Amino acid sequence: MHVKYDIEYGIPEFIAISNANKHENSTLKDMKLKKGDTVTFDLGYVNYKQFHQFCSGGIYFVTRLKDNAAYTVIADNPVPPWAGNIKADEFILLAGDKAMHDCPEFLRKITSTDPDTGKNITLLTNMKRKEDSAENISMIYRKRWQIELFFKTVKQNLRIERFMAIPKMQYGHRSGYP
């Protein structure tokens, strides 16, 4: 199940059901993301070409940076003393021929400490506006867990054994349908 979840209203905005062997990236085009949207996802969606498309389309993203990602630090952003869990805030450029080709954008790498576990989390985003503080970006990523709670609720309250594909029909296509 692939879900576009509206955190503000606490409801799914889009749901697509596919075989387990279909990668999550393949459903993004169906979600009809638009300029100004902010998407957040975990490592399963990491795709540098997709990041470049988000940047080109004015769509903001927040995700975790893979441990083995190669990058060059371009600039350090000062972390104010009141930044709480923020340990580092940097502008980076992905390194390696393929990564640089797929996403030639300057991105932002934020390292924060998860207050629940005490572990460091390294985030990657294209949110570089002045109003996009590292604390707010970290909070956006933490809110991603609401989708996990949604899935937990679905699993606990619905007894789904099998999804069945229903072919799309045009109204009036078959007799007896409006």
Dihedral angle computed from the Cα positions of residues 13, 58, 76 and 120, in that order, rounded to the nearest 10 degrees: 20
**pLDDT recorded at residue 92:** 97
**pLDDT recorded at residue 149:** 73
pLDDT in tens, 96-134: 999 999 999 999 999 999 888 889 999 999 999 888 999
**pLDDT recorded at residue 54:** 94
**pLDDT recorded at residue 175:** 43
CA geometry: angle 64, 67, 72, nearest 5 deg: 90
Closest CA to 55 of 31, 33, 77, 32: 33
**pLDDT recorded at residue 153:** 73
Contacts within 8 Å (CB) and 24+ apart, 16-25: 17/163, 25/50
Q: What domain count does the chain have?
A: 1
Residue 169 lies in a domain: no
Name residue, tokens 């502008």: 91
Residue 171 lies in a domain: no
**pLDDT recorded at residue 23:** 57
Average pLDDT, the chain: 81
Burial label, 155 (beta-carbon count in 10 A; 0-12, 13-18, 19+): exposed
**pLDDT recorded at residue 110:** 97
Residue 67 lies in a domain: yes
pLDDT tens for the 178 residues of the chain, in order:
667 777 777 777 777 766 666 555 666 777 778 899 888 887 767 889 999 999 999 999 999 999 899 999 999 999 988 888 999 999 999 999 999 999 999 999 999 998 888 899 999 999 998 889 999 999 888 887 777 777 677 777 777 666 555 555 554 444 444 4
Name residue, tokens 């393949």: 26
Containing structural domain, residue 117: 35-144
Residue 160 lies in a domain: no
**pLDDT recorded at residue 177:** 41
